[in-house]
Amino acid sequence: MTLNIETFVIGGSVAKAGDLLLGPARESLQGYSFQAVSARLRVVASGLGEDAPILGAAVLARRLLRA
């Protein structure tokens, strides 16, 4: 709530579980968030599949090397 996050992206091999994991995650968010906010919260699987973690790490490393 403090960070005003609207979308949670689940990536890597965990995302392969699909609705088996994402369904309960969505339900939990509804139970733990304010009613005014819960309607706009989303939990989605990454479109990058299993490569998401390594691509994210590469982007972060590149940014750190440029600094």
Segment 12-67, tens digit of pLDDT: 788 888 899 999 999 888 888 888 888 888 999 988 878 888 888 999 999 999 86
In a domain, 1, yes or no: no
Burial of residue 58 (CB within 10 Å: 0-12, 13-18, 19+) is exposed
12 is in which domain, residue-wise?
Answer: 7-66
User: From the CA atom positions of the chain, what is the Rg in Å?
Assistant: 15
Q: What pLDDT does 20 receive?
A: 92
46 C-beta neighbours (distance < 10 Å), count: 17
Could you tell me if residue 59 is inside a domain? yes
What's the number of domains the chain is made of? 1
User: 7 — alpha (psi -120 to 50), left (phi > 0) or beta?
Assistant: beta
**Is 49 within the bounds of a domain?**
yes
Using a cut of 0.85, tell me whether the model's pTM lies above it.
no
Cβ neighbours of residue 46 closer than 8 Å, sequence gap 6 or more: 9, 10, 11, 12, 15, 52
